[in-house]
Amino acid sequence: MAHASRPRRLTAALAAVTATVLLTLGATAPTATTSTAAKPATAVAGFADIVPAPVSAVPAAGVSYALPSSASVSSDVAGVGGYLAAILRKSTGFAVPVTTAPGTIQLLLSGAPASVGAQGYQLDVTAGGVTVRAQAAAGLFAGVQTLLEILPPGVESSTVQPGPWTLPGGRVVDYPRYAYRGAMLDVARHFFTVAQVERYIDQIARYKIDYLHLHLSDDQGWRIAINGWPQLTAHGGSTEVGGGPGGYYTQADYAAITAYAQQRYITVVPEIDMPGHTNAAQSSYAQLNCDGVAPPLYTGTDVGFSSFCVGSPTTYTFLDDVIGQLAALTPGPYLHIGGDEAQSTSAADYATFVNKVQAITAAHGKTAIGWHDVANATLLPSTIAQFWDTSTSNKALTAAAKKGTKIIMSPANHAYLDMKYTSSTPLGQDWAGLTDVKKAYDWDPGAYLSGVPASAVVGVEAPLWTETIVTSADIEYMAFPRLPALAELGWSPESTHTWTAFRTRLAAQGPRWKAAGITYYHSTQIAWPAGS
Ligand code: TNX
């Protein structure tokens, strides 16, 4: 889909006009308007570099503010103030106290324009200090991410950097296009520790992602402890793709992950994939198999060979325990019930099963999300379908959307972070095609599926399946720079969508990732600044 002919966003145009006027008058152009491509890694960041692109960013010509060594943070939401101060302390070496008296950086739950809604913010940088205003805590947190992005890249470092810590003057008014902006991590094919998941949470939070979908079970592993069913983790969690040791989260581990995510305004969506992708559970308990025989554990990468026993009451006794406990542990409203690639379940059984599991999920107070295959069942009005195919039309999903089903967009050939960038990418798969940055970015979630109205789309999600992904460095290599591309599709107004502008903004992220120690893929589609 080509967007090159769309008008440049107003704010970029304004910045260009400001720069032109100043240059004509012989003045120095403000830092906020300098080109990102040619900047050295230590340069002052500007409003033009923000990813995801904001709704509006208007630089104040000639105005800037440098954090003094006495910089302080005051915040109407203690957690958000503490989060910001902790990041600033590490890289600036300043004490950055969180104060009750107005700080040099003020985070206020007052005075934001109504337009910013629950997740948006207004950020002002004047010669006297920095103010973020929002109507709710999530908006303050989003504003803090933008504040960090207009500080020099060294702010991302975990060790003290030289500074100066200069912010460009001006105003950003910003709010998201979609309420659901997700990232998925498959912890079943390879297990990732709590610390590894938290590291990824910190990284995705920087791009205003607000949902983390955890794929907690699959053929190769069951990763969440369920009271009364100890073999699920003792046996079903004991391996992974390739035969490694696997692992699992205790319920306390899972609670720690959801709490860590909550502190970053990210809601965890736990997934139990079913009725297929269930070998690990069926290997753990013979009674989950129609023939009463537990299959061996599986460490390969095939799909479509397992199915829960749809006709057996035991299946639903089990699932009531699993879903009930997971629902009780999960602060967010959603529970993902999987439903993809159930090739070993008959069509009639599949519909019966999805209908029952939707009811169990609702009985435990949660809204179900399923991979779009669930549109072949009779969906509850609240059930959300997650589109993952490589096509641009889907009959069952279109019919469901006409009846009111909402959709999360994850087309595998654009949004799957496990697809290889090029044929020589050492990690990942290519069944949905090769996905370099432009392909990850250049599509419109609201107009992608023919016959599905834009109003049916509630957001986007970037899934990272981990058949070939083993370490945090692997995660980062596949997620960066594509995760920020998806994050921008989820947050930024469609009117800002221009590949040429995006690739310039993205280039400016390179030095930031380098400072943060993120092992990103240096796509040749992006003119990364020298040294990053
Ligand atoms: C398809 S798409 C899957 C996963 C695999 C993935 C690998 C979907 C919902 N299921 O089971 O891990 O492809 O790319």
How confident is the model over 76-118, as pLDDT tens digits? 999 999 999 999 999 999 999 999 999 999 999 999 999 999 9
Which residue's CA lies nearest to atom 4 of ligand 1? 465
Could you tell me where the DSSP H helices lie in 25-77? none
Structure tokens at 165: 């810590």
Indicate the residue type of 318: F
Provide the pLDDT confidence category of residue 158 given band limits of 50, 70 and 90.
very high
Q: What does residue 333 show for φ and ψ, rounded to 5 degrees?
A: -85, -15
416 CA from centroid of ligand 1 (Å): 9
Give which of 503, 491, 504 is closest to 54, Cα–Cα: 491
Give residues (CB < 6 A) around ligand 1.
303, 340-341, 371, 388, 412, 416, 418, 429, 465, 467
Contact (Cβ atoms closer than 8 angstroms) between residue 201 and residue 171: no
DSSP H or E stretch at residue 370: strand 367-371
Tell me the pLDDT of the chain averaged across its residues. 92
Cis peptide leading into residue 164 (ω within 30°): yes
**For residue 9, is pLDDT > 80?**
no
The pLDDT of residue 4 is: 28
Phi, psi of 6 (to 5 degrees): -70, 150
Say what percent of the chain tops pLDDT 70. 92
Confidence bin at 46 (pLDDT 50/70/90): confident
Contact between residue 320 and residue 361 where contact means Cβ atoms under 8 Å apart: no
0.85 exceeded by the pTM? Answer: yes
Which ligand 1 atom lies nearest to the CA of residue 338?
9
Instruction: Give the SS3 label for residue 224.
Output: strand
Average pLDDT over residues 184-194: 99
Q: For residue 451, how far is its CA from the centre of ligand 1 (angstroms)?
A: 24
Task: For 348-379, write each residue's pLDDT tens digit.
Answer: 999 999 999 999 999 999 999 999 999 999 99
* pLDDT tens track for 467-488: 999 999 999 999 999 999 999 9
Active site annotation includes 149: no
Which residue's CA lies nearest to atom 8 of ligand 1?
340
Q: Sorting pLDDT into bands at 50, 70 and 90, what band is 210? A: very high
Q: Please state the atom number of ligand 1 nearest to the C-alpha of residue 373.
A: 9
Q: Which atom of ligand 1 lies at the shortest distance from residue 303's CA?
A: 11
Q: How many angstroms separate the alpha carbon of residue 364 from the centre of ligand 1?
A: 27
Instruction: Compute the distance from residue 465 Cα to the ligand 1 centre, in Å.
Output: 7
Task: Compute, in angstroms, the gap from residue 366 CA to the centroid of ligand 1.
Answer: 24
Among 149, 341, 467, 494, the active-site one is: 341
Could you read off the pLDDT of 163-188 as tens digits, one per residue?
Answer: 999 999 999 999 999 999 999 999 99
CA nearest ligand 1 atom 5, residue: 465
